[in-house]
Structure 1
């Protein structure tokens, strides 16, 4: 019954649709991990059961071989006793002839018993051999599926890491997006623009103040010229223009 149970579990696991199970799972990674543990445990149980089944099969085969060998040996003994009986009968010794014929009959009886034992074991050996082969095939299938599960698990982990890395890259790129006014670089650029505007304002302010100073100098020059001409008029001279044509 235990072997049948193991065989049933192997068949069930082999027929399991892993992709469908993963599609329905809330956490595929956890489910894969659990499946890997289940497969590993069932493989260990199956290996133990198969080892026991193989051991029993080898005992049957050994007993069968011993029965065949025993049948052959008893056949040889029957032949030797029969020939000995013929020799005694040819020499006129009926007593010893009958004795060895009886020994030959005993040997033949044991030969027949060994042959019957071997014949009875043959179907059982064939059945056990079929079971062992199916168990071996199922076990190999489970091992292959276990490797698929491990590969699928590794693939999911890699895909998860890739997705996380892509998310980080997108976030990083977004944080330095020059077209996004809310990004760090955008905010820094706005700050620089304001500083540049302030500097430009100060420059323009300084320039306007300088222009006013030069204008006052020009006004002062005009006043000085007026004073000079007035002094000339008072001294009796004619006022002369500063620039003669």
Structure 2
């Protein structure tokens, strides 16, 4: 059976080895998944056809058995009536129906192992498809992360980024120079709070001196 041979070839394929050799693992993985899904669909279609043939054969067995029983009854009835010739003819028809049932049963028996094999192959294909899809998802996540990191690396090492960094450093130095100039104006000048405290102390001395003068004058 071509479909079974094809499925076996796909199942036996060394997926990991193929992925290692592939220039584009994602593309190969997607193609393998499509091939496996196509094989799985063929497998199921073939199994459905075999099941249909089995059911037809089983109906033929049932019909042949019923017909055989009918011809047996007719043969007995003919003998009861003394018609041995009719009984013989009935038994010949009965034998034909038995042969039909045997042929149909042989077809059922022949289809059974093929169906069992197809069922096993379908399970293996389904398992392989799930494994490859999981690998494909992991590969896509790794690819997206790698592309994001590469973009960041390229951006950080680009001429535009280096130029922007230099401009920022120059601006930072300019701000620092302006701050330094502002602070330089305060060098050599009393602190405002210190002047305020000195004035308060002077005012206190003036008040005490005025009180002392008043006391002496009294």
Using the size of structure 2 for normalisation, the TM-score is 0.68
Q: Which residue of 2 aligns with 1:231?
A: none
Q: Which residue of 1 aligns with 2:10?
A: 13
Distance 1:71 1:51 in 2: 30
C-alpha distance after superposition, 1:68-118 (max 9, x if no partner): 221122112222333x23xxxxxxxxxxx2x2x332222222212211232
Q: CA deviation at 1:154?
A: 1.6
Q: Which residue of 2 aligns with 1:125?
A: 108
Any residues of structure 2 matched to 1:60-75 within 5 Å, and which? 60-75=57-72
Distance 2:183 2:53 in 1: 104
Pairing 1:188–2:171 present:
no
Q: Which residue of 1 aligns with 2:129?
A: 146
User: How many pairs align?
Assistant: 185
Distance 2:105 2:182 in 1: 111
| Residue from 134, 158, 167 that aligns with 2:117 | 134
Q: Describe the SS at the equivalent of 1:115.
A: helix
Larger Rg: 1
Q: Describe the SS at the equivalent of 1:74.
A: helix
| Residue from 7, 22, 25 that aligns with 2:22 | 25
Distance 1:14 1:109 in 2: 51
Q: CA deviation at 1:149?
A: 2.0
Distance 1:19 1:188 in 2: 50
Unaligned stretches of 5+ in structure 1?
A: 86-96, 176-181, 211-245
Unaligned stretches of 5+ in structure 2?
A: 190-218
Pairing 1:164–2:147 present:
yes
| Residue from 43, 46, 66 that aligns with 2:43 | 46
Structure 1 residues 206 and 134, CA gap change in structure 2 (3 angstroms): closer
Q: CA deviation at 1:157?
A: 0.8
Distance 1:75 1:68 in 2: 10
Using the size of structure 1 for normalisation, the TM-score is 0.61
C-alpha root-mean-square deviation of aligned residues, in Å? 3.4
Distance 2:134 2:183 in 1: 69
Distance 2:117 2:186 in 1: 99
